[in-house]
Structure 1
Amino acid sequence: MSRTLSPSRPPRTFPAKAAFPGLAVVFAAFFFAAGAPTPLLSLRQQEWGFSAATLSLAFAIYAIGLLAALLVGGSLSDHLGRRPVMLIALYTELISMIAFMVASTITWMIIARALQGIATGIATSAFNAAIAEQAPSHRKKLAGGLAGASVAGGLGIGALVTGAAVQFTADANLLVFAILTGVMILAIVFVSFTAETTPKRPGAARSLTPRLSLPAGIRREFAAGIPVHIAGWMFPAFFLGLFPPLLRLHFALDGGLVAGFSAFLGPFSAAIAGLLFARHPARHGSLVGVSLILLGIVAVLLGVSEKWLAAVWIGAVLGGLGFGGSFGGQLRLIAPHIQPHQRAGVFSAIYTAAYLAFSVPVIIAGLLAPIWGLVPTLQAYGVVIMAAAAVGIIVQAARLRADAAQKAVAVLP
C-alpha cells in the first residue's frame, strides 16, 4: 500500500513585524558590548599600570578589527544570505565575550577587543541590510534611523551599565561579560529563526577580496558625507576612548559611574535623535545634525578648559543629538539608491569611513598625549572635529540648495 507523501514544510520563522525590531535589538547588543569596556579599561589602567598609548590601542583595536572584517567580509551576506553571516558574527562575538570574562592581562583584553571588532564588522553590513529588508513597507524610512539608533544607543547604554557595575560591584568584568555571554546565546537562537531575506548568489569567495562597493549613482553623495562622518564618529570616540583618563587626571574624578555616565550621554542622545530625525527630510537631518556636533564640541572644549564638567555634559548631549541626526540622515540619503544585492557592500563602505574616523584619531591622540600633554592633545582633537563639522555644514548646505533647485526644475511645465 503506497503512502502519499506530504510536501515538506518550510522551517518556522518569526514574522517580519517581530524580526524587524528583534534584529535591531540584537544589533544593538553588539554595540552595548562594544561600549562596555570603556569604564573597565580605565579601571584596568589604574590596576595594571599600562600607558595611555596602550589604553588607546586597547580601545581602537576594536575598530581596526571591525574595519578588517568589513573590508574582507562586508559583501559576504550578499552571496551567502543574511542569516548565515549574522550567525557567524554572533558566534565570534560569543567567543570574544568569554575571552573578556577570563582576561587577566591587558594583552588578553586587547585580543578579546580585536575579536569583538571582527564580530561587529561581520555583523554590521549583514544586520543593516537585514533590518532594512525585514522592515514592513510603511516602516522602510524608519529602518535607517533604527539601525543608527541601535549603534549609538548600544554604545551609550553599555558604557553606563558597566560604569555602574564598576562603581557598585566587586567584579564588574565577570558580571558584565557573563550576562553578555547569555545575551549572545539568546541572540543566536533568535536569529536562527528569522527568515532569510536575500537569495544565495555565486561569488562568495571572490567577494572576500578587500574592496569598497560604491555604485556610480551614490558616489557623489558618499563623498559629500565624508566630513559629516569624520565629525560625527570622532565625537563619541572622544568620550569612549579618551575621556576616562581626563576625568581622573584633569577633573580628579575616578568613579566608574561618572566615567560611564559621561560616555553614555552622547551615544544615548544620538539614539534618540536617530529616531526623531527619521521623521524629517534626510538632508535637513544631516545639516542640522552636523551643526549640533559643532556646537557640542565647542561646549566640550569650553568645559575642559574651565574644568566645568556640566558644560562637557551639555556638549555631549548636543553632539550626540547631532551624531544621531547626521548619521541617520546620511544612511537615508543613500539607502533608497542601492539595489538589494548591493546593500551589504555599500554599508561596509559607509562604516569603513565611519570607523576610520572612530579609531585612527584616537590612536594618534594616544601617541601624542605623553608628548604634548593630555589636555592639549584632546583640545587639538576637538579642533579637528570642529574643522570637519564646519566643512560638513558647508557641503550639506550646498547639497540642500542643489536639491531645491533640482526639484524646482522638475515641477516646471
Structure 2
Amino acid sequence: MTEVSKGLADANTAVPAAHERRGPGRYLPRSVGFVGITAAMVMILVAAGAPTPLFPMYEREWGFPSWMLTLAFGVYAIALLVAILVIGSLSDHIGRRPLVIGALAIDLVAMVVFLNASSIGWLIVARIIQGIATGAASSAMSAAVVELAPDRHKKLGALMTSMAPLAGLGIGALFAGILAQFVSDPASAVWLVLVVVMVLGTLFAVFIPETSTRKPGALASLTPRISVPSQVRALYFTSIPGVVGAFMTMTLFLGLVPVVLGAVFATASPALGGLAAFVAFGAGTVLTAATGRVRPHLLRIIGNSTMTIGAVIFVGSVAAEWLPLLWAAAVLSGIGIGATFAGSVRGLVPEVEAHERAGLFAAIYLTAYLAMGLSAIVAGLVVDSVGVTSMIVTFGIVLAVISLTGVVVSTGLPGRRKAAPAHRATHITPS
C-alpha cells in the first residue's frame, strides 16, 4: 500500500509480514523492534503534547501576547500537514528504517531548540521542526509497528497505531504538567528528558530490522496527491463537519484550555492544563480501543453528538466559572474525537481501491490539520481584541454548531449507504 499513512492500518485484518533485509547479528529481533518502535512512536507524540502546559508559563515569563502562543500551536499543525502530504508515502520507496531514523533525529533537533529557546520566536521555530518530524514519523513508524508485530498478533500492531497518537498527546501534556508543578526549572527539565529520550530512540532505530523492500519512484512520491474517489465523495463531504470538529476539539484542549484555566478560572497550575488534555485524549484512546466492532455510521453519530454536548458543557463551564464542568466536557469531547475520526476513516477507506487511498488520506488530513492549525491561529488573532472569555465562548459555540451539523449530515442517506461493516473497519487516529 502507498497510502499517506500506511501503517495506520486495518486493525481487524491481518497484515502479511513484509520482506525483511537483515545481515547476521546486525539488527535486533523483530519482537524487540516491535516493542521499541511502538515506544518511540508514543514518545514522539508525548513530545508533541508536552508544550501544552508549558506555553502559558513561557507567556508569563517572557511577556509576549497571547496570539503568539496560539500561533506557536497553529504552525505545528500546518508543518505536520505539509510533512504528511509530502513525505507520507516516502517510506514505501526508501524503506521504513531510514525515515524512522530521520524523523527521530529531526525531533531531537526540535527538543534541543526547545531546551535552548530564549524567546517566543525560537519556540515557534521548534514547533515547526517538531511538526515536520511528527508528520514524517507518522506513516513510517506506524507501518513499521504493524509489520514488526508478531505474525499471530498483527491486530495488536494495528491497535497500537490506533491508540498511540491520542495516548501519547495526553501522556505528554500530563508529564510536562506534573513536572512543571514540582520542579524549579520545569521547561529545562522537560526538554532535557525528551532530548535524552530522542537520542536513545534514534540510536535504537539504527538497529531495527527493515520491513519494506525498496522500490523506484521516491522523488515522484513527494508530490502530494489529493483526491476523493467518486464512490465516496458524498460520504467524504458528510464527514467533513465531524473531522473539522474533532481537530478543533484537539486545538481546544492542546492549545487553548491552559490559557483559559489562567484567565477564567484564575489557576496557574500547569498540572491542571496537562490533566485536562490527558483526560480528553485518554477518553478518546479508550473509545478507539473499545469500538472496533461498532459500525462506522453509528460511530460518527455518537462522536458528533458527544462533541456537541462536550462543547456546550465547556461553554457552560466558562460562563459559570465552574471547573467541574470542564472535566465533564473533557471526557465527552475526548470520546467525540475518537469516535468521530475513527468512524469517518473506517467508513471511507474500505470503500476505495488500494491505489486510491493515498489521495483519499491526503484529502482527509488536509481538512483535519487545516482545521486544527487555522482555528488556533484565528483564535489567537482575536483574543487580544475581544478577551480570552469572549474568544473561548465563541470558539465553543462554533465548535458546537459544526459538531451538530455533523450529527445532522451523519444521519442522512449518504452516511447510511456508505457505512462499512465492522469487520472491514480501519483504525486511524490523529497525530
Scaled to the shorter chain, the TM-score interval is 0.7 to 0.9
Alignment of structure 1 residues 135-174 onto 2, 5 Å: 135=149, 145-174=159-188
Per-residue CA deviations over 1:299-319 (Å, capped at 9, x if unaligned) read 111111110110011011111
The one-letter code matched in structure 2 to 1:238 is: L
Task: Tell me, yes or no, if structure 1 residue 241 matches structure 2 residue 255.
Answer: yes
Contact 1:232/1:322 (8 A) holds in 2:
yes
Per-residue CA deviations over 1:329-349 (Å, capped at 9, x if unaligned) read 333334445666766665444
| Residue in structure 2 matching 1:373, options 381, 387, 391 | 387
- 2:53 and 2:374 map into 1 onto residues whose CA distance is 20
Contact 2:296/2:421 (8 A) holds in 1:
no
Task: Tell me, yes or no, if structure 1 residue 363 matches structure 2 residue 373.
Answer: no
Contact 1:20/1:135 (8 A) holds in 2:
yes
Task: Tell me, yes or no, if structure 1 residue 353 matches structure 2 residue 367.
Answer: yes
Mean CA deviation greater in 87-96 or 25-34? 25-34
Change (3 A) 1:216 1:384: same
Mean CA deviation greater in 214-223 or 27-36? 214-223
Task: Tell me which residue corresponds to 2:218.
Answer: 204
What secondary structure, in the 3-state scheme, does the structure 2 residue paired with 1:202 have?
coil
- 1:203 and 1:24 map into 2 onto residues whose CA distance is 28
Mean CA deviation greater in 179-188 or 106-115? 179-188
Task: Tell me which residue corresponds to 1:410.
Answer: none
| Residue in structure 1 matching 2:330, options 313, 316, 323 | 316
- What displacement does 1:224 show? 3.4
- What displacement does 1:155 show? 1.1
Contact 1:285/1:326 (8 A) holds in 2:
yes
- 2:50 and 2:175 map into 1 onto residues whose CA distance is 7
Per-residue CA deviations over 1:135-185 (Å, capped at 9, x if unaligned) read 567655665553242111111111111111111101111211111112222
Mean CA deviation greater in 121-130 or 51-60? 121-130
Structure in which a larger fraction of residues adopt helix: 1
Change (3 A) 1:132 1:218: farther
The one-letter code matched in structure 1 to 2:269 is: G
Contact 2:103/2:134 (8 A) holds in 1:
yes
Alignment of structure 1 residues 8-407 onto 2, 5 Å: 9=24, 11-15=26-30, 19-20=33-34, 22-135=36-149, 145-212=159-226, 214=228, 218-336=232-350, 346-398=360-412, 399=414, 401-403=416-418
Contact 1:34/1:155 (8 A) holds in 2:
yes
Contact 1:125/1:345 (8 A) holds in 2:
no
Per-residue CA deviations over 1:72-114 (Å, capped at 9, x if unaligned) read 2222222222222222111100111111111121111111111
- What displacement does 1:327 show? 1.9
The one-letter code matched in structure 2 to 1:393 is: V
- 1:71 and 1:213 map into 2 onto residues whose CA distance is 12
- 2:227 and 2:101 map into 1 onto residues whose CA distance is 23
- 2:403 and 2:109 map into 1 onto residues whose CA distance is 38
Task: Tell me which residue corresponds to 1:3.
Answer: none
Task: Extract unaligned runs of 5+ from structure 1.
Answer: 1-6, 408-413
- 1:186 and 1:325 map into 2 onto residues whose CA distance is 34
Root-mean-square deviation (Å): 2.8
Percent sequence identity is: 38
Change (3 A) 1:406 1:165: closer
- 1:339 and 1:13 map into 2 onto residues whose CA distance is 35
Change (3 A) 1:351 1:23: farther
What secondary structure, in the 3-state scheme, does the structure 1 residue paired with 2:411 have?
helix
- 1:334 and 1:135 map into 2 onto residues whose CA distance is 25
- 2:111 and 2:314 map into 1 onto residues whose CA distance is 33
Contact 2:297/2:416 (8 A) holds in 1:
no
Contact 2:346/2:420 (8 A) holds in 1:
no
Mean CA deviation greater in 185-194 or 152-161? 185-194
- What displacement does 1:258 show? 1.6
- 2:404 and 2:35 map into 1 onto residues whose CA distance is 35
- 2:400 and 2:139 map into 1 onto residues whose CA distance is 29
- What displacement does 1:211 show? 3.6
> Who wins on radius of gyration, i.e. which is larger?
1
Contact 1:65/1:114 (8 A) holds in 2:
yes
Contact 1:76/1:344 (8 A) holds in 2:
no
The one-letter code matched in structure 1 to 2:119 is: T
Mean CA deviation greater in 284-293 or 115-124? 284-293
